[in-house]
Amino acid sequence: MTPFPRNAWYVACTPDELADKPLGRQICGQRLVLYRTTDGGPVAALEDFCPHRGAPLSLGTVCEGQLVCGYHGLVMGCDGRPVAMPGQRVKSFPAIRAFPVLERYGFVWVWPGDAALASPEKLPLLPWAESPEWAYGGGLYHIACDYRLMIDNLMDLTHETYVHSTSIGQKEIDEAPCETKFSEHEVTTSRFMQNIKAPPFWQMALRMNGLPADQPVDRWQVCHFTPPSHVMIEVGVALAGRGGIDAPADSKASAIVVDFITPETESSIWYFWGMARHFKPHDASLTTQIREGQGRIFAEDREMLERQQRNLAENPARRLLKLNIDSGGVHSRRMIERLIAAEQAAGSEAGATAREPAAAAH
């Protein structure tokens, strides 16, 4: 059973990664090559496999909008069909697979499943990415862990007290009750902390927003999981008694922690992380400062998750405990399992239909 849904949009890369050459990237176990067909034009995604001798096309070049294999010069069209090759006739060569691609919200998205099911309407809505009232800064980590471990990590922020004790962690996170809600398409966990001291990261954010950092605050964390593996976390602090998450903008520092988790293999991920900020959106130096601070925080997660993955791989028969704080991750995994099962059932049904004998003519 495949461990990830395929009929979904995954973040494949950021546009800057396609600046001047093809990019090889493995997504959901499939090796892809992504490239920009013209300067500033659309992005194409193909199998990273030259139909001539099996060389990785990502080691090639882009010439006049077409991908040229770096081994023998076979030219590929963006539909996966061979176009030309020096001194050879190649149009009878078999086509390789082409994947649906979208470029939106500052990311390049790919659909690794059934291309007939891909639709722009199935892309998640990210209004902050298109609003001048928000600023975004982020980065990319390659992490050697199962993508579901990262979802667990983000849907239960209790770990902040211990993993991130010098930045965003504080004991009040442990002590505040966590509520989990779920629907057919989303899992949400919420935690609200009243009249507490802001941790170092949020003290910095308050100061940068022109607010005092030494006064008590109300803090919130609302984590939203949507399939296949996206987690958006509403976070912030407001001066105590001003309304918490609903406080006016001049009394709080608020943001959305952006987490796009793209499986590479069953035990590795491409982790596109960032923060969308709803204060001082035009302050580029603040964006840089927050991105650097957040990058250090996520580096702490990386070490923990990779060692956790190693432990689990070495002890596959050991059962793990499930506590009330794990509810968000548990429900997220169940949603993923339902999607995978539905895809496989649809595939089995289609296969059975294809195998049915044709009806006899009368």
Intervals of CATH 2.102.10.10 along the chain: 10-121
Q: Please give the backbone phi and psi of residue 211, each rounded to the nearest 5 degrees, phi first.
A: -115, 155
Q: How many CB atoms lie within 10 A of CB 142?
A: 10
Side chain identity, residue 198:
A
Q: What is the C-alpha separation between 25 and 264, in angstroms, rounded? A: 8
Q: CA geometry: angle at 29 spanning 322 and 105, to 5°?
A: 85
Q: 177-191: per-residue pLDDT in tens? A: 999 999 989 999 999
Tokens of 329: 């991750």
Q: What is the pLDDT of residue 227?
A: 95
362 pLDDT exceeds 60? Answer: no
Average pLDDT over every residue of 20-39: 94
Q: What is the pLDDT of residue 356?
A: 56
307 SS3 class: helix
Going from the C-alpha of 132 to that of each of 68, 123, 127, 205, 343, the distances in angstroms are: 39, 21, 10, 19, 38
Q: 309-333: per-residue pLDDT in tens? A: 999 999 999 998 888 888 999 999 9
Q: Do the Cβ atoms of 180 and 327 come closer than 8 Å? A: yes
Give percent of the chain above pLDDT 90: 75
Number of H helices, E strands in the chain: 6, 18
- Residue where the block lists tokens 């009243």: 194
Instruction: Please tell me the pTM assigned to this model.
Output: 0.92
348 pLDDT exceeds 80? Answer: no
- In angstroms, how far is the first alpha carbon of the chain from the final one? 42
Q: 58-108: per-residue pLDDT in tens? A: 999 998 888 999 999 999 999 999 998 888 888 888 899 999 999 999 999
Q: 155-211: per-residue pLDDT in tens? A: 999 888 888 888 898 988 888 899 999 998 999 999 999 999 999 999 999 998 999
Q: What is the C-alpha separation between 35 and 22, in angstroms, rounded? A: 5
Q: What is the pLDDT of residue 89?
A: 84
Q: Classify domain 128-338 at the CATH class level.
A: alpha beta
255-282 core/surface letters (b: 16 or more CB in 10 A; e: else) = bbbbbbbbbbeebbbbbbbbbbbbbbbe
Intervals of CATH 3.90.380.10 along the chain: 128-338
110 pLDDT exceeds 70? Answer: yes
Fold of 10-121: Rieske Iron-sulfur Protein (2.102.10)
CA dihedral 27, 342, 117, 38 (to 10 degrees): -10
Rg (C-alpha) for the chain, rounded Å, is 23
In 3D space, the residue among 209, 226, 192, 182 whose CA is nearest the CA of residue 327 turns out to be: 182
